[in-house]
């Protein structure tokens, strides 16, 4: 177990190193000039050049990258070009909001997705199944900004049940969490349905019924844990989807998380923030996958970590 964890963490470090390298090179070859952005439109070429030298942007790629890695070793992600604040401080102040939103979205997609999938599987081929699968199809294919704006219009503007945007209370969380989770809910309902149908065909379900167990026990104790197994691995991968969704959803709902931070930074070519957010996202995905792999053996005794 300890050896397994150590190996996975070493792998994680290598993945993160790769992510920093690719992002760094991409941002380096980007035609946009951060120094010009900082100096403003009216600045002279000399001012721009000074800023460039000051930020070390005149150095060759390997020197810049070496410096960045050196900072990273000391948990220093650099300073924002425009806000003049440490990137770590900026991210740290916004991370809780994003984590809360992600948690809400995961709860939402599991609650909606698994329930829909379960009922569709039990009523396979019937009207309930068909209706649920149409809904899941819509959920999977609707773009998030459309869903977000639609929800805002209906539940915030028209019905007035939830606030239009902002952060602070549970009611603020509901609409963004649903918007972020609805895509996953669509996928999970389909996965859960096929997984459940597969499990219900297994011999051990017949054994459970032959014991005289109630249908609810057969479902909850014998079928569900087996059906959920393939989905757990998906949740880990899902965090990656969330990261791309968060930029959109946080902008639509004015949610003060790292997605919004990233969006602003991209517009202004604030490279240290872009790097920082990318790194944090990659870290989240790696950790999400690791967690999924650690949870799986708790449900399935056949899985051994080694």
Dist. CA 142–CA 214, nearest whole Å: 39
What is the nearest approach in angstroms of another protein to the Cβ of residue 225?
Answer: 5
Q: Toward another protein, which CB reaches closer, 213 or 295? A: 213
Nearest distance in Å: CB 247, another protein = 38
* Interacting residue with another protein among 3, 29, 73, 159 (CB under 8 A): 3
- DSSP letter string over 47-114? HHHHHHHHHTTTS-HHHHHHHHHHHHHTT---B-TTT-SBHHHHHHHHHHHHHHHHHHHHHHHHHHHH
CB neighbours (10 Å) of residue 46? Answer: 9
Residue list 190-219, contact with another protein (CB under 8 A): 202-204, 206-214, 217
Whether 184 contacts 113, CB under 8 Å: yes
- CB closer to another protein, 89 vs 202: 202
Q: What single DSSP character describes residue 155?
A: I
Number of shown-chain residues binding another protein (CB under 8 A)? 26
Pick the piece of the chain touching another protein (CB under 8 A) from 32-40, 106-114, 223-231, 238-246.
223-231
Q: Which residues contact 279 (CB under 8 A, 6 or more apart)?
A: 16, 19, 20, 23, 77
DSSP state of 157: I
Minimum CB distance to another protein smaller for 22 or for 299: 299
| Min dist. Cβ of residue 306 to another protein (A) | 4
Bridge partners for 86 per DSSP: 79
**d(C-alpha 54, C-alpha 37), whole Å:** 14
Comparing CB distances to another protein, the nearer of 4 and 28 is: 4
Interface of this chain with another protein, residues 139 to 198, rule: CB under 8 A: none
Nearest distance, CB of residue 231 and another protein, angstroms: 14
**Which of residues 6, 134, 150, 237 is near another protein by CB under 8 A?**
6
Q: Which is nearer to another protein, 122 or 149 (CB)?
A: 122
1 vs 107, which CB is nearer to another protein? 1
Residue 306 binding another protein, by CB under 8 A = yes
Q: Is 225 a binder of another protein (CB under 8 A)? A: yes
Radius of gyration of the chain (CA): 24
Q: Which residues contact 202 (CB under 8 A, 6 or more apart)?
A: 226
Given the complex with another protein, which of 103 and 221 has the nearer CB atom? 221
Q: Which residues contact another protein by CB under 8 A?
A: 3, 6-7, 202-204, 206-214, 217, 221-222, 225-226, 229, 299-302, 306
């Amino acid at each position: 177990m300890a050896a397994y964890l150590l190996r996975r963490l070493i792998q994680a470090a290598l993945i993160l190193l790769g992510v920093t390298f690719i992002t760094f090179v991409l941002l380096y070859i980007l035609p946009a000039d951060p120094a010009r952005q900082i100096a403003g439109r009216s600045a002279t070429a000399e001012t721009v050049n000074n800023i460039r030298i000051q930020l070390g942007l005149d150095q060759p790629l390997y020197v810049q990258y070496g410096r960045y890695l050196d900072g990273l070793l000391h948990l220093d992600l650099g300073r924002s070009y425009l806000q003049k604040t440490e990137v770590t401080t900026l991210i740290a102040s916004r991370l809780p909001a994003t984590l809360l939103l992600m948690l809400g979205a995961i709860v939402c997609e599991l609650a909606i997705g698994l329930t829909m999938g379960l009922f569709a599987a039990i009523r396979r081929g019937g009207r309930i199944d068909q209706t649920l699968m149409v809904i899941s199809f819509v959920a999977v294919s609707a773009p998030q900004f459309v869903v977000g704006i639609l929800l805002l219009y209906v539940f915030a503007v028209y019905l007035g049940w939830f606030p239009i945007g902002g952060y602070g209370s549970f009611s603020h969380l509901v609409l963004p969490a649903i918007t972020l989770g609805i895509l996953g809910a669509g996928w999970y309902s389909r996965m859960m349905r096929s997984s459940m149908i597969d499990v219900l065909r297994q011999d051990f379900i017949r054994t459970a019924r032959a014991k005289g167990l109630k249908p609810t026990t057969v479902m909850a104790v014998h079928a569900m844990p087996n059906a959920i197994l393939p989905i757990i691995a998906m949740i880990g991968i899902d965090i990656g989807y969330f990261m791309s969704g968060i930029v959109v959803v946080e902008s639509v709902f004015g949610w003060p998380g790292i997605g919004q931070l990233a969006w602003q930074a991209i517009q202004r070519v604030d490279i240290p923030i872009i790097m920082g957010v990318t790194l944090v996202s990659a870290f989240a995905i790696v950790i999400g996958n690791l967690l999924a792999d650690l949870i799986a053996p708790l449900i399935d005794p056949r899985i051994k970590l080694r």
